Structure 1
Amino acid sequence: MNKPKVLIITGYGVNCEAESAHAWRLAGAEPELVHLNDLLDHPDQLNDFQAMMFIGGFSYGDHMTSGHVFALRVKHHMQAQLQQFIDDGKLVMGICNGFQVMTKMGLLPGLDGNCFEPTVSLMQNDCGTFQNFWCDIKFEEDSPCVFTKGLGTMPLPIRHGEGKIFTLDDALLEKLEANGCAAARYVDADNKPTQAFPANPNGSLHAIAGLTDPSGRIFGMMPHPEAYLFPENHPNWDKQKLNGDLPEQGLGLKLFQNAVNFINGN
């Protein structure tokens, strides 16, 4: 079986290409790093890939709010090709700044087929400052998300200053929930969604840490699964080893394995 090809967009302040590529490689895919300018000059190369990823970092220095400039460049220079990529049933993943890009572009939550029409945003953390620590993330069982199927709850690192999912439209939030688009949430020690800091590091509405579109193929989240590929990435790995509960692999790898299994099965 051929390895699925995954496009990872690099350049202009994003900085998670190495670990993102390694995650896909460990999961059984063939990642390829492509600079944003090269992609915009030749957008038809999207046809060569089965999945694409918007990675973390600080694109364009987060000027005009996080991910905004990057989103505008993609939207206005390759919207037709990206729409065709989605219509062909392929996968799109965004992590941290990549998630910010996807919401600013309008790819998420993608309700009613409204790609490229922004309806939610990721805004400044309620605490007002950049946060960098590990949180417990619960992946909703009833979500259609391809990436998060059967994952339950896992610890993942966050590192962001603008991670609060926000909208003034209560009806939109209800529709988002009804369609299972809230694929990931921040939870407390009792595994319950929470608005309390620091378990919820940004005050995100409904404790949402990640969103999917109704198809489950377009997914973005603020926590970094690509930063938990090995057991030793966890800050308490030594205690886990002493207690006999050190996992065989970093738990974040499971999201990438889910994606590769989906592609291979289709």
Structure 2
Amino acid sequence: MCNGCQMLSNLRDLIPGADLWPRFVRNESERFEARFSLVEVQKSQSAFFDGMAGSRMPIAVSHGEGRVEVRDNQHLQAIEDSGTMTLRYVDNMGNPTQQYPNNPNGSPNAITGLTTTDGRVSIMMPHPERVFRSVANSWHPEDWNEDSPWMRMFRNARKHIG
């Protein structure tokens, strides 16, 4: 997450299946962004997001350098076609968005998380570790009980490890 995401994206040449990962650079707003945003989990091979595709959930954002930087339009299209995108910023209607502040860093195609082609390594800019408990959210449906839906991501990781 966040700084680890930036570091791993720069080490993509050493990580099998990460060759399409972009760099993460200064936010389009030229500011540090700290807020809640809405993301949708995309269908991918990510061990973290197993069974979560289509979920739309609020998430904490806290970064100054979270904008995806692609080499060109072909690189962006290759990412889209590869099935390695895990998270995308969406608006309140569930549509991918470039609109600030819903997309707080200006990432193209609202990309904010990716995985390797085999799903073993994932990177993301937002902070699910800050909102895995319901009480960490400013509002949540009563049926969330103790855990927010983000807890599933961590349980998936535990299940994957064995």
> Within 1, Cα distance between the matches of 2:35 and 2:14?
25
C-alpha RMSD of matched pairs (Å)? 2.1
Aligned to 1:215: 118
Task: Tell me what 1:248 maps to.
Answer: 146
CA distance in 2, matches of 1:97, 1:256: 19
1:97 counterpart = 2:21: no
Q: Quick check: 1:144 aligned with 2:144?
A: no
The 3-state SS of whatever aligns with 1:125 is coil
Cα distance between partner residues in 1 of 2:63 and 2:8: 16
Point out where structure 2 has 5 or more consecutive residues left out of the alignment.
none
* Percent identity of equivalent pairs: 32
* Residues matched between the structures, number: 160
Write the distance in 2 (CA, Å) between the matches of 1:108 and 1:138: 28
Deviation at 1:212, TM superposition (A): 0.6
In structure 2, the CA distance between the partners of 1:224 and 1:107, relative to structure 1 (3 Å rule), is farther
Q: Does 1:232 find its partner at 2:135?
A: yes
Give distance in 1, aligned partners of 2:16 and 2:80.
13
- In structure 1, what residue type is equivalent to 2:7? V
Corresponding residue to 1:155 among 38, 52, 58: 58
Q: Name 2:22's counterpart in structure 1.
A: 120
Alpha-carbon distance in structure 2 between the residues aligned to 1:206 and 1:110: 24
Q: Secondary structure at the match of 1:157?
A: strand
Q: Which structure shows the higher helix fraction?
A: 1
The answer to which structure, 1 or 2, has the higher relative contact order (CA under 8 A, 6+ apart) is 2
Following superposition, the deviation at residue 167 of structure 1 comes to: 1.2
Sort the Cα spacing of 1:209 and 1:110 in 2 relative to 1 into closer, same or farther, 3 A.
Answer: farther
Runs of 4+ aligned structure 1 residues displaced above 3 Å come to 107-111, 244-248
Does the 8 A contact of 2:2 with 2:126 survive in 1? yes
Q: Where does the alignment leave 5 or more consecutive residues of structure 1 unmatched? A: 1-94
The CA distance in 1 between the partners of 2:39 and 2:24, in whole Å, is 18
Q: Which residue, out of 66, 72, 75, partners 1:169?
A: 72
Residues 195 and 204, structure 1, Cα contact 8 Å, conserved in 2: yes
Q: 2:109 is aligned with what amino acid?
A: H
Matched residues in 2 for 1:207 and 1:108: separation?
26
For the residues of structure 1 that align with 2:99 and 2:14, how far apart are their CA atoms? 25
Deviations 1:204-245 (A, max 9, x none): 0110010111111110101111111211000124xx4xxx34
**TM-score, structure 2 normalization:** 0.89
Cα distance change on mapping 1:156 and 1:128 into 2, 3 Å? same
Rg comparison, structure with higher value: 1
Distance 2:22 2:8 in 1: 10
C-alpha displacement at 1:108, in angstroms?
Answer: 8.9
Question: Contact 2:39–2:58 at 8 Å: present in 1 too?
Answer: yes
1:122-154 deviation line (CA, Å, top 9, x unaligned) = 11111110011111111112x111111222111
Q: Does the aligned pair in 1 maintain the 2:135–2:146 contact within 8 Å?
A: no
